[in-house]
Structure 1
Amino acid sequence: MSIAIFGGLGHVGSWVAHDLAARGEDVVIFDAGSGDYAALGLDHLVAVSDRLAFEPVDVLDVHTLFERIRAHHGRIEAIVWGVAVIAGPTFAQRPFRNIQINTVGMLNALEAARIFEIGTFVNLSSGAVYGDLPGGQTEDLPAKATDLYGATKVANEALALQYGETYGIDVRNARLYFVYGPGRMPSRMHPLYRAMFGALEGLRDVASPSGGDQALDWTHVRDTAKGIVALLDARNVSGEAFNISSGVAVNHRNIMQAAERIAGGDHGMSIGPGSYFLRGAPLDISKAKQLLNFTPRFTEIEEGLRDYADWINKQR
């Protein structure tokens, strides 16, 4: 049997694929970039490549998606949905396309689960379902979307749960938050991320227009993947949502300064005032700790940054 990961070459999805394959699971990665995954710098997948199969599928191409799922019919026992255009100021520049990818794409995967009788569906949702509610958000709070990205996540959770109830699919929602770490270079990310983490890559003089007065719980990608795998493994949690994050809020300028210290000194980075995202932090992860035995390792940001720096240095 195998597990299908949609978006399995993404930052989070690739680490979920790694962790599952490393323990002996067969993983099928459905990702539009699968045709040339070796060029993506995902070195953590190389050691487990014998457990991986790759399907270069655009999630909006329903015909190909169904055709390639059918090629594995009877062998896929669970789907992890991890495809998403991430939150940020650019999301609203192409709203229809981005909403299609995030929500219609997920519906295509849910429909495949229904037709091909795949029993478990783990939806990688987001703390964006809480909008700008203050920190300490628990999973029983009502949804509040404060941007288009958040609206896709609210919609996805509701649609996935209704598919589950209507067609007998075991649906679980993992509410992830802000992720950093190995597998994604700072230079490939948005301005705030580049300003905070870019010194580790040797970037200089990056300025983010805002975000300096905000503290969010940035979660190391290894911890994020660990929480998702724990949710996939858990029993008797069908229909449940879980916050998966570090559970610790750290000011953005403090992260930037810590990264510069690790990189050897001032790199000319700067972050403007105010908030970059309409979000509160930290998420309350008590439920995940209790029911999933999820305990994040990198709750001290400097420890996580050093691990990230080690990975970046190996890429050079």
Structure 2
Amino acid sequence: MTTLVFGALGHVGSWVAHDLVARGDDVAIFDAGAGRFDSLGIDYLEPYRDRFALEEVDVLDTHTLFERMRAYDGRIDAVIFGVAVIAGPNFARRPFRHIEINTMGMLNVIEACRILGVPKFINLSSGAVYGNHPGGQTEETPYMATDLYCATKIANEVLALQYGATYGIDVRNARLFAVYGPGKLPSRMHVLYQALFGPLEGIDGVSTPAGGDQMMDWTHVRDTAAGIVRVLDTPGIAGQSFNISNGNAVTHRDIVAAVQDVVGRDTRVTMGPGKFLDRGAPLDISRARETLGFTPKFADIRDGVIDYKDWLDRAR
């Protein structure tokens, strides 16, 4: 049986695919960038190149999407949906396009799952579904949309769960939070990410208009992927949602200080006051700990920063 991972050449999806193929699972990567795999520099997937299939599919191209999924008909054990335009200043600049990718893309995939009789669907959601509720949000905290990205993640959860209830699909939501770590070059990210982690790549002197007073639940990508695999594997949790994050909030200025300590220089980062994103943190990960046996390996941000620097040093 095969697991189809959508968005598997993105930051989180690539590590999910890595962890699945590394343990011997059959995996098919569905990603619009599949045709460019050899130029993407995903070094941790390259050793397993003969262990997974690559399918170049745009989730908004319903015809190609269905035809390529149908090629695996009768062999699909589960679908993991991780395609998303991430939260940040860019999202509101092209709202309809980004909402279409996030939500219509998910609907296209789960509709194909319905037609093909796929038994399990893992929706990679976000702690953004809690909006700016104060930190310590449990899975029972009510939805609150504070921006368009939040709205897409709330819509996806509700629609996916209703598909599950209506058509007998085992739907599970993994609510991720701010992710950092190997596989993502800070130079290709938004200004907050560059300010926090850019010096690990040699980018100093970044200035952000806001975010200096914010605490966020930054989660190492390897922990995020491990949690998603737990959501996939654990029996008897159909219809449930799980917070998959570090579970600890740390101030952005503390991250800047930790990065300075690791690189051994003044990185000349300056951050404006207030919040960069209107979010509360940390997420409460008690349910994931108790039900999934999920424990973040990089609970200390400094350990995660060191691991990230090691990867960036090798990638340059």
Task: Letter of the 1:219 partner, please give it.
Answer: T
Poorly superposed stretches of 4+, deviation over 4 Å: none
Offset at residue 256 of structure 1 (A): 1.2
Partner of 1:265: 265
Give TM-score, length-normalised by structure 2: 0.99
* Same amino acid, percent of matched pairs: 63
CA distance in 2, matches of 1:85, 1:256: 26
Higher alpha-carbon deviation: 304-313 or 253-262: 253-262
Partner of 1:69: 69
Offset at residue 263 of structure 1 (A): 1.3
Task: Letter of the 2:16 partner, please give it.
Answer: V
Q: Are the counterparts in 2 of residues 243 and 285 from structure 1 also a CA contact under 8 Å?
A: yes
Task: Letter of the 2:141 partner, please give it.
Answer: L
Count matched residues.
316
In the alignment, is residue 97 of structure 1 matched against residue 97 of structure 2?
A: yes
Offset at residue 37 of structure 1 (A): 1.0
Task: Letter of the 2:96 partner, please give it.
Answer: F
Give the 3-state SS of the residue equivalent to 1:43 in structure 2. Answer: coil
Partner of 2:12: 12
In the alignment, is residue 196 of structure 1 matched against residue 196 of structure 2?
A: yes
Partner of 1:225: 225
In the alignment, is residue 124 of structure 1 matched against residue 146 of structure 2?
A: no
In the alignment, is residue 215 of structure 1 matched against residue 215 of structure 2?
A: yes
CA distance in 2, matches of 1:156, 1:56: 23
CA distance in 2, matches of 1:143, 1:39: 39
Structure 2 residue ranges without an equivalent (≥5): none
CA distance in 1, matches of 2:25, 2:254: 39
Partner of 1:27: 27
Offset at residue 86 of structure 1 (A): 0.2
Q: Are the counterparts in 2 of residues 129 and 150 from structure 1 also a CA contact under 8 Å?
A: yes
Task: Letter of the 1:212 partner, please give it.
Answer: G
Give the 3-state SS of the residue equivalent to 1:154 in structure 2. Answer: helix
Partner of 1:151: 151
Give TM-score, length-normalised by structure 1: 0.99
Task: Letter of the 1:172 partner, please give it.
Answer: R
Aligned-pair Cα RMSD in Å = 0.6
Partner deviation per Cα, 1:221-253 (whole Å, 9 max, x = no partner): 000000000000011100000000000000001
CA distance in 2, matches of 1:278, 1:78: 33
Partner of 2:107: 107
CA distance in 2, matches of 1:90, 1:106: 20
Partner of 1:180: 180
Give the 3-state SS of the residue equivalent to 2:45 in structure 1. Answer: helix
Offset at residue 207 of structure 1 (A): 0.8
Offset at residue 262 of structure 1 (A): 1.1
Structure 1 residue ranges without an equivalent (≥5): none
Offset at residue 284 of structure 1 (A): 0.2
Partner of 1:298: 298
Q: Are the counterparts in 2 of residues 202 and 263 from structure 1 also a CA contact under 8 Å?
A: no
TM alignment of 1:236-275, pairs within 5 A: 236-275=236-275
CA distance in 2, matches of 1:38, 1:300: 33
